[in-house]
């Protein structure tokens, strides 16, 4: 055994190898131990389970009004737009960043809302009321016309208080604003004429 030991300047080279292997194995063990700790940062099973669909009765929602319901901890807005508001949606397209909801359609707009009014029924808009910039909830600015922080030809919509992004009444973002995407349309379906289910859409 002793003749196989290679010694340079008092350093036992054969032991170096073992030290390297031990350090490597130790590093692997430390890395593996870190995995469960880092994993605890992820959403818990309870948080994941809390995403159940929400049923809403919109029989009492008057024309021109908005209703807010909570789904997965986020505000979901249901707006019954006036016929004039729906008609106006085709006029402001030149000032919108993504009028046809082509950006990230899979995340932002389900197939049944990929139209000008971004909704199943033209008058009933369902969107998640969270700005796509940094997650504030925009404020209602439904009245058209000039007003503070808004342009003179304001068609009605939402203004985000945090960084000034503006959205029209279909939740479409205006150009040159910090928000990159249109407001998200959540998966939803009509259970009857006045009952909405938010969070689920049976594709049948």
Partner 1 sequence: MSEFKVAPANAPVGVKLLTWVDNRFPASKLWKEHLSEYYAPKNFNFWYFFGSLALLVLVIQIVTGIFLVMHYKPDAAQAFASVEYIMRDVPWGWLVRYMHSTGASAFFIVVYLHMFRGFLYGSYRKPRELVWIFGCAIFLCLMGEAFMGYLLPWGQMSYWGAQVIVNLFSAIPFVGPDLSLMIRGDYVVSDATLNRFFSFHVIAIPLILLGLVVAHVIALHEVGSNNPDGIEIKEKKDANGIPLDGIPFHPYYSVHDMVGVAGFLILFSAVVFFAPEMGGYFLESNNFIPADSLKTPLHIAPVWYFTPFYSMLRATTDDMLVVFRVLVAVAALLALWKGRFSALGKGVIIVASLVVLTGIGLFKFTGIPALAGCDAKFWGVLVMGGSVVILFFMPWLDQSPVKSIRYRPGWHKAVYAVFVVVFLVLGYLGIEPPDPLKTALSQVGTVLYFGFFLLMPWWSQMGTFKPVPDRVVFHAH
Closest distance to partner 1 from the beta carbon of 13 (Å): 33
**Residue 3 DSSP label:** G
Q: Quick one: 117 or 133, whose CB is closer to partner 1?
A: 133
Q: Within 141-170, which residues bind partner 1 (CB under 8 A)?
A: 149, 160-164
CA 36-40-42 angle, 5° bins: 120
Active site residue 163: yes
Q: Quick one: 79 or 89, whose CB is closer to partner 1?
A: 79
Contact 180, 43 (CB under 8 A): no
Q: Does 105 sit near partner 1 (CB under 8 A)?
A: no
- The H or E element containing residue 16 is helix 13-39
Identify the residue among 24, 26, 51, 111 touching partner 1 (CB under 8 A).
51
Closest distance to partner 1 from the beta carbon of 172 (Å): 17
Best CA proximity match to 92, nearest among 23, 163, 150, 43: 150
CA 197-106-75 angle, 5° bins: 45
- Phi, psi torsion values for 75, nearest 5 degrees: -75, 130
Q: Does 180 sit near partner 1 (CB under 8 A)?
A: yes
Contact 106, 59 (CB under 8 A): no
Closest distance to partner 1 from the beta carbon of 39 (Å): 9
Binding residues (CB under 8 A) for partner 1: these are: 38, 41-44, 47, 51, 68, 70, 72-75, 129, 133-139, 149, 160-164, 176-178, 180
Active site residues: 163
């Amino acid at each position: 055994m002793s003749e196989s030991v290679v010694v340079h300047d008092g350093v036992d080279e054969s032991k170096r190898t073992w030290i390297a292997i031990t350090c490597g194995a130790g590093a692997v063990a430390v890395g593996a131990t870190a995995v469960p700790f880092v994993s605890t940062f992820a959403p818990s099973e309870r948080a994941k389970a809390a995403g159940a669909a929400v049923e809403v009765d919109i029989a009492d929602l008057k024309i021109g009004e908005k209703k807010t319901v909570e789904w997965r901890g986020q505000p979901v807005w249901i707006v019954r737009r006036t016929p004039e508001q729906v008609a106006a949606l085709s006029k402001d397209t030149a000032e919108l960043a993504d009028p046809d909801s082509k950006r990230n359609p899979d995340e932002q707009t389900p197939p049944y809302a990929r139209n000008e009014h971004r909704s199943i029924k033209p008058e009933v808009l369902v969107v998640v009321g969270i700005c796509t910039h940094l997650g504030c909830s925009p404020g209602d600015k439904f009245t058209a016309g000039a007003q503070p922080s808004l342009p003179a030809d304001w068609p009605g919509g939402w203004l985000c208080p945090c960084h000034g992004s503006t959205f029209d009444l279909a939740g479409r973002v205006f150009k040159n604003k910090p928000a990159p995407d249109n407001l998200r349309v959540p998966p939803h379906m009509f259970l009857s004429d006045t009952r909405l289910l938010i969070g689920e859409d049976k594709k049948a």
